[in-house]
Structure formats: C-alpha cells, structure tokens
Amino acid sequence: MNAATKLELLIGDSSLSTELKLIAEKVKSNQRISFDEGVLLYEKAELGYLGVLANYIREKRHGDKTYFNRNFHIEPTNLCIYDCKFCSYSVLIKEKSQGWEYTMEQMLDIVKNYDGQPVTEVHIVGGVLPQYDLKFYSELFTAIHKHRPDLHVKALTPVEYHYIFKKAKVDYATGMKLMKEAGLDSIPGGGAEIFAPEIREIIAKDKCTGEEWLQIHEEWHKLGMRSNATMLYGHIEKFEHRIDHLEQLRALQDKTGGFQTFIPLKFRNQDNQMSHVPEVSVIEDLRNYAISRIYLDNFDHIKAYWAMISRSTAQLSLNFGVDDIDGTLDDTTKIYSMAGAEEQHPAMSTQELVELIKNIGRHPVERDTLYNVITDYKDFEFPVEEKPKYYQLPVIN
Ligand code: V47
Ligand code: SF4
C-alpha cells in the first residue's frame, strides 16, 4: 500500500480525534501546521499516526531516495572555553587530560591522508580556544582548498564564528564575507542546541544565544550560501521548547531559503555534567523525526546522524520522515562516542551504507554536500568478493 493510500485510510479512521484528523488533512493538502498543533503532536500523537504523516511527506518529496555522502571530520580540539553541561568535551579542560589541540600542519595532514580517495566533504567542528581565531581558520580553509580544490569545506558553527568575530572586532556580515573569501563552502548545523533562553541558560551558558545563532546563519544565507540546522533534544527541555526551536528555524527559512537539512541530535548522557538526565527512548527519537518532518514544511531534508543513534535506528528513521543518514565518517569524530553513542568507532564503507539502505527497501543515492547526485545505487551491484579459502568446509571421512 502506498503512502498516500495509508494517509487516506488514516483520515477515514473514525477512532481518530478531530484535532489529529484536522492535522492529517492539512498534511494531505500541503498546509502548514501551527505552533499549537505541533505541541499537540508531541503530547498526543502515537508513533503509527506520525509515521503515516511523515512518510507521506518524505515520499512526496523524495520517493524512496535516501541520501548519504563520503566525508570525514576534523575536530581541531576537544578543549573548550565554554562549559556546556551536555558536552563530554567540556569536562576535559578542567581535568586537562586526554586533550588534543591540532596545529594547522596536523589538520592539513589529515586532509592529505584522503588524497586519491573519493571523499567529497570535510566537516570541521570542535571546541573553542583563543588560538583558533579568524586568521587561523581563514588560513586553514584557504590551505585546504589550495591542496584539494574539489573538497567541500563544511566548517564551524555560530558558536565559533561569534567568538572569533568578536575577538577580531568584525560584525557578523563582514565576518561571514571574510570566511567565504577564505574558502568556507557551507556551515554545519551544530551549536543550535535549544534556542529558548530559559533552557539554553542552564545547559549552554555563555556561548552565542539562539538569536545570535540565527543571525549568523542569516548573514551566511544572504551571501547566497547554504547551511544546516540541528536541535539537541531529549534532556530538560519541554515539548513547547522543541516547537519554539522548529518555529524559529521555519521562520528564518521562509525569509532566506538557505537551510538544506535539519538534523535532530539526541542527547547522550555519558561522561558529561548531565549524566543524571536519562536518555529518551527510541520511540521518542522516531516521534521527534516525524514531527520535525511535519513541522518543517520548508526544509528539503531531514537527516538522522547514524553515528549518534546507531545503524538500526537510522534504518528505522527512514520510515519516519528521514531521507538522509550522513556519511562514511571513517572514525574521524569523537563527539558522540565520548558521550556514549553505540558506535565507538563510527565508520562505514560506501558498500555498507548502500546495503544498510537497500536492506529496508529504500533507494541509496550518494550526494555531495549540496545534494548534487554523485552516484545512484538503485541498480548498482557491488562485485561479489571471492571467498577466502578457509570458508571451505573441511572434508570429513
Ligand atoms: O552542537 C554535543 C551536539 C553538535 C552532545 O550539519 C551532543 O551535517 C548529543 O552539529 N549528546 C555538533 N549531542 C555536531 C553537529 C552535526 C553532526 C552531524 C552532522 C551535522 C551537519 C552537524 O553535537 C553540538 C551539540 O548539539 N552534542 N554533545 C551530547 N552529549
Ligand atoms: Fe564547547 Fe561546543 Fe562542547 Fe559547548 S558543546 S563545551 S561550545 S565543544
């Protein structure tokens, strides 16, 4: 049964409450849902109902297509002047143990390690330290492009930009222009956490505010450039705060159209100052993906970051509004493994990503950062490897 028929059947279900029926009808006729309706979905809607709505939207936009890319991360440092309570990095600066601070040469060496490999994106994000300033990052982006012009530099968040622009005494518009000239190609979605000041003040005090986060993305979009957005959920926030966050993203997207992808980030509670806060269930993760898909009617893509939620939850999410599962990663990011994610060494080959997507009947497409198609894997067969000799059963007389 296709997604549209499932939605029709749901709308015709006499046991559905009037309010949930109205929301389903809005989705069918491509109408936007309101703030109160968003909160109502979080409070009252069952997973099955949300899946039908979110999958309808997902399939209308993308059919079965499921995107991934070939990427690697550089995390310049795991030390940070800030003290976000949820961050498993921020504990380290106090202990001064296990910290790393890469030099420019070390970061360029990481890039050079991928020479000859078909990666398309480097994602750079880490802690905030004074030596990583506007001059440093400008030189880094320029040097990466000089070495490998085709590699897309997706780097830093408004948390870093706010800090380095303030230090360099430039306003956001000038700062973003300088970054573009230096070779920045896009901004990842991090640092958004939860915009609501009463929650942000508790979990991510001192770093840029939600308003500043949005202003920096707006300036970047004004330059004709693209970025992503995230939301850290499942900690001390209430459903109203999640919808407030989605509402502010939706409003900015109406204005600029510069966001490509929304990535909900599940709070993980290992080795941070919020370890006493329990993690939410997989069911809540799936509900959250679905509500994000329904609410953000002006975002093209919803991404499930497999490194954070595990491969099997990433597969499940593809039926709840998600159409992208990020990349190969090559074990280059620590931020989630340190916070307790199942994947302690996140890395998947292209073949593994393709099979993970095909195994649940979806259609894998390798994209670049801007969603240009690199390879369509629908009918692609990987060569079957010759089995090593030791697989042969011994002959028993
Ligand atoms: O801003 C930190 C989050 C973010 C924890 O744009 C945590 O394609 C959960 O933004 N539990 C950085 N989350 C990562 C990020 C990202 C990841 C993948 C793809 C993209 C993209 C962006 O990680 C931080 C923060 O919200 N984070 N600690 C934690 N304990
Ligand atoms: Fe620093 Fe980012 Fe961790 Fe906050 S989340 S302490 S800004 S590395």
Phi/psi of residue 372, nearest 5 degrees: -75, 140
Q: Mean pLDDT, to the nearest integer, of 53-70?
A: 97
Per residue in 152-161, pLDDT (tens digit) is 999 999 999 9
| Residue percentage of the chain with pLDDT more than 90 | 82
Tell how far the Cα of 373 is from the centroid of ligand 2, in angstroms.
Answer: 33
User: Which of 334, 333, 246 lies closest to 298, judged by CA?
Assistant: 246
Nearest-CA residue for atom 2 of ligand 2: 127
Tell how far the Cα of 380 is from the centroid of ligand 1, in angstroms.
Answer: 32
b/e 132-156 (16+ beta carbons within 10 angstroms → b): bebebbbebbebbbeebeebbbbbb
Ligand 2: residue of 159, 200, 213 to mutate (most ligand atoms within 8 A of CB) is 159
Q: Give the nearest ligand 2 atom to 207 CA.
A: 7
Residue 200 Cβ inside 6 Å of ligand 2? The answer reads no
Nearest-CA residue for atom 7 of ligand 2: 82
Ligand 2: residue of 90, 124, 201, 335 to mutate (most ligand atoms within 8 A of CB) is 90
Per residue in 63-121, pLDDT (tens digit) is 999 999 999 999 999 999 999 999 988 655 556 667 899 999 999 999 999 999 899 99
Strand 363-367 and strand 373-376: the pairing is antiparallel
- Domains delineated in the chain: 3-61 (no CATH), 66-376 (3.20.20.70)
Per residue in 342-396, pLDDT (tens digit) is 667 767 888 888 999 999 999 999 999 999 999 999 988 888 765 544 555 556 6
- Note the pLDDT of residue 336: 63
Residue 89 Cβ inside 6 Å of ligand 2? The answer reads yes
Q: Ligand nearest 85 Cα, by number?
A: 2
Q: Mean pLDDT, to the nearest integer, of 47-51?
A: 98
Tokens standing for residue 78: 């795991």
- Note the pLDDT of residue 391: 53
Ligand 1 binding pocket (C-beta < 6 A) is 86-88, 125, 188-191, 193, 228, 230, 232, 263, 265, 267-268, 272, 305, 326, 335, 339
Note the pTM of the prediction, 2 decimals: 0.94
